[in-house]
Amino acid sequence: MDKQEKILIVDDEKIVRDSLYHWFEEEGYKVDTAEDGEAALKKYEDVKFDLLLVDMKMPGMSGIELLNKIKSIDKDAVIILITAFASVPTAIAALKNGAYDYVTKPVDPDELAHLVMKALEQRALKIENIHLKESIDEIIRPDNLIGESYQMKKIYDLIQTVAPTDTTVMIRGESGTGKELVAKAIHINSKRKYFPIVPVNCGALAETILESELFGHEKGAFTGAQFRRKSKFELADGGTIFLDEIDSISIKMQAELLRVIETKQFNRVGGNELIKSDFRVIIATNEPLEELVKAGKFREDLYYRLNVFSIVIPPLRERKEDIQLLVNFFINKYSAVMNKPVKSVSKEAMDFLVNYDWHGNVRELENAIERAMVIGKSESICVEDLPFHVSSNNLYPDEDCKSLAAMEKRYINNILNENNWNISRSAQVLEIDRVTLYNKINKYNLKK
């Protein structure tokens, strides 16, 4: 043990003060003395001593009175009382008022030294536990939830605020901003972290399939139902269910979803058994639900049930200071996966990456870095390795092409062409499933 702890000896007898002073100084402690309670209080205000040895019976302020005053200043102060008249009431009074222990005069130096050592060890352990708890209480982030911008720090604060509760959370943001990562961060910082987080992409499933996914089904409930299937709500029991693209579900499903969220009970499709599940709900949307409510496409009661605590993730173009951090993270990630020696980005390429608008957000940036590392031949990513060779100013030459739908259409078409219209690979690059990609192709009438 590092004996740089500070000890204050408080006794009205000079011979006692001096003898204890020299004894503990030789033991390697930093020692000071006070002749009465008033002097001790004045010294304690200037220096926070690790331990106090206090005579119980002193003129003026008694040892018990000094103990109470010190404890009112610092409830964690370690105080050992010294008394010439030991008795059961004395011991009870000392310990009841917060003394670590007491010893009787004449003092046995070895016994007192051992007691002081044990008291300081216990104090050090308590401080270590406090520091450990503080470090545990810091927000735990998924590895790829990256950013030190003001906007991201605000999101981390919101995550830390809402995670310990069971409050329903609505995460808003454009496609590719990392809404699922925020949902995972909330979950792993919650009391439910030892149970699963179950994601459901509502926009990728037809209504009948979504109903079966969310609520499960019994064997024979419909054609092809050869086995009983547990629901996502059952799998999330004790944990969290994450409903992505909540804006895409039908009015009928919205009514069923509202009932389940409010009651935490449901029946499997084709079943009569009432299933109970304890889950937390986190939802995500890239659509303004308020507008959908006004248009009659989203139930108002469900909206208010879901919009309890809202987190808005800014698009990447509004936090450009995070781009370099993200680029370095993705380079390290894919250099390990691909076993390639790429470690950096040229200045020209980094300038281009920082100045680009990233309408596909973090997902588009990651895809760009992955592609650059696939085709790159050197240890540094160059501009020509990137999947675009025009400035962001020329990317959308017409004002009419700046709508979100137009940009999404152009982006999906570019990805499809880059992958020679391989649907599986394109869906993987876009981080959506094949059903969603086919729906987008039909929506925008894209052709090979």
pLDDT at 389: 40
pLDDT at 396: 44
User: Could you give the number of structural domains in the chain?
Assistant: 3
**For 98, what's the count of Cα atoms within 13 Å in the CB-facing half-sphere?**
19
Task: Judge if 172 and 230 occupy the same domain.
Answer: yes
Domain end, chosen from 75, 107, 136, is at 136
Task: Judge if 49 and 195 occupy the same domain.
Answer: no
pLDDT at 395: 43
Of 269-273, 306-310, 357-361, 375-379, highest mean pLDDT: 306-310
Task: Judge if 306 and 376 occupy the same domain.
Answer: no
Range with lowest mean pLDDT among 73-87, 189-203, 399-413: 399-413
**Residue 208 falls inside a structural domain:** yes
Give the model's confidence band at 399: pLDDT under 50 very low, under 70 low, under 90 confident, else very high. very low
Task: Judge if 175 and 294 occupy the same domain.
Answer: yes
Residue 229, pLDDT > 90, answer: no
Task: Judge if 129 and 184 occupy the same domain.
Answer: no
Cα angle vertex 205, ends 179, 368, to 5°?
45
Q: Which tens digit of pLDDT belongs to each residue from 42-75?
A: 998 888 899 999 998 888 888 888 988 988 888 8
Residue 251, pLDDT > 80, answer: yes
Q: Which tens digit of pLDDT belongs to each residue from 77-93?
A: 899 988 877 666 766 77
Q: Which tens digit of pLDDT belongs to each residue from 26-45?
A: 888 999 999 999 999 999 88
Interatomic CA distance for residues 289 and 297, integer angstroms = 9
Range(s) of the domain holding residue 392: 316-443
Task: Judge if 340 and 279 occupy the same domain.
Answer: no
Domain end, chosen from 291, 312, 333, is at 312
Task: Judge if 155 and 175 occupy the same domain.
Answer: yes
Task: Judge if 387 and 412 occupy the same domain.
Answer: yes
Give the CATH number of the domain where residue 263 resides: 3.40.50.300
Give the CATH number of the domain where residue 95 resides: 3.40.50.2300
Positive/negative CA dihedral, 324, 328, 333, 334: positive
Task: Judge if 104 and 248 occupy the same domain.
Answer: no
pTM over cut 0.75? no
